[in-house]
């Protein structure tokens, strides 16, 4: 398979994969890469922590919050980031119209779940969190929107770090505490660390673009260090989140 349009020639694949978790050089492989599984799992970890430490815990609300974040950030924002002219472009098989369609549909579906939750269960104040998250999910990856004011690390820190935790915490407890704001700030810092390490890793891989993946270890070493940290960060976040959730469930909620 050479892409969605057989009439458009596809340039040769780079020797070095664009990311350490990248899929194959194909339509489906690029879809996997655009999901950014380690970083999407980190966001879901923040969501789980928010539910696990809230004064009240409802597993159904957590499940819907996770679905909304998979759709809005895991799929929607990440696909929009690959639209030509936005973010770090490395997709070759997906045309712009498909990226726009999947991206906007993902964000829209996630926001719709939040709006439904506010109308049916959580109340109108929840709409504020949904609105801010929706704006960030579109404004950060679409670098040209609002003259790029939302395409910066501070917005990423809020959208991919603080808000997933705070949204989940509020959905469970119907409120936000001082302690939850402190934790949200910590997760914002974790998100900034993640995006900067990831950016550095991609830059180093582009610099080694003429090198094959099976090259000597000393050739691949420059981007091995940040990627070890990224692996540890993503795995550690998920392990902590699942541990807190397990403790909450075993304690009887």
Q: Is 159 in contact with 39 (CB distance < 8 Å)?
A: no
- With 0-12 / 13-18 / 19 or more C-beta atoms within 10 angstroms meaning exposed / middle / buried, residue 88 is middle
Tokens at 14, concatenated: 């780079």
Q: How far apart are CA 205 and CA 200, in angstroms?
A: 9
Tokens at 134, concatenated: 């929706």
Tokens at 36, concatenated: 């950014």
Give the pLDDT confidence score for residue 223 in this predicted structure: 55
pLDDT digits (tens, 9 = 90+) for 81-108: 998 876 567 788 899 999 999 999 999 9
* Range from 32-36, 63-67, 180-184, 200-204 carrying the lowest mean pLDDT: 200-204
Give the pLDDT confidence score for residue 211 in this predicted structure: 40
Under the banding of pLDDT at 50, 70 and 90, the label for residue 7 is: very low
**N- to C-terminal Cα distance for the chain?**
49
**Domains of the chain by residue range:** 27-243
When pLDDT is averaged across residues 181-207 and rounded to a whole number, the result is 87
List CB contacts of 56: < 8 A, sequence separation 6 or more.
Answer: 172, 173
Under the banding of pLDDT at 50, 70 and 90, the label for residue 217 is: very low
Q: Which of 160, 158, 13, 155 is nearest to 78 (CA)?
A: 160
Q: Topology of domain 27-243, per CATH?
A: Farnesyl Diphosphate Synthase (1.10.600)
**Helical (H) or strand (E) element with 173:** helix 163-173
User: Rounded to the nearest 10 degrees, what angle do helices 163-173 and 59-69 cross at?
Assistant: 150
* Range from 88-97, 104-113, 182-191 carrying the lowest mean pLDDT: 88-97
Q: Which of 202, 194, 199 is nearest to 16 (CA)?
A: 202
């Amino acid at each position: 398979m050479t892409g969605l349009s057989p009439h458009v020639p596809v340039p040769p694949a780079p020797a070095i994969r664009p990311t350490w978790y990248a899929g194959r050089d194909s339509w489906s492989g690029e879809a996997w890469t655009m999901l950014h599984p380690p970083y999407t799992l980190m966001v879901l970890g923040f969501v789980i922590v928010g539910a696990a430490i809230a004064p009240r815990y409802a597993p159904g609300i957590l499940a819907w919050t996770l679905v909304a974040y998979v759709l809005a950030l895991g799929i929607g924002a990440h696909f929009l980031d690959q639209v030509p002219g936005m973010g770090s472009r490395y997709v070759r098989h997906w045309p712009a119209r498909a990226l726009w369609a999947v991206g906007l549909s993902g964000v829209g579906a996630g926001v719709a779940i939040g709006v439904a939750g506010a109308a049916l269960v959580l109340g109108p104040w929840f709409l504020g969190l949904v609105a801010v998250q929706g704006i960030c999910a579109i404004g950060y990856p679409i670098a040209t929107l609002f003259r790029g004011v939302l395409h910066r690390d501070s917005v990423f820190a809020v959208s991919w770090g603080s808000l997933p935790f705070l949204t989940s915490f509020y959905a469970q407890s119907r409120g936000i505490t001082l302690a939850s704001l402190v934790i949200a700030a910590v997760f914002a810092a974790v998100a900034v660390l993640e995006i900067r390490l990831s950016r550095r890793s991609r830059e180093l891989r582009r610099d080694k673009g003429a090198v094959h993946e099976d090259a000597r270890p000393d050739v691949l070493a420059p981007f091995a260090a940040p990627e070890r940290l990224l692996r540890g960060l993503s795995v550690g976040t998920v392990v902590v989140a699942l541990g807190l959730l397990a403790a909450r469930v075993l304690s009887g909620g």
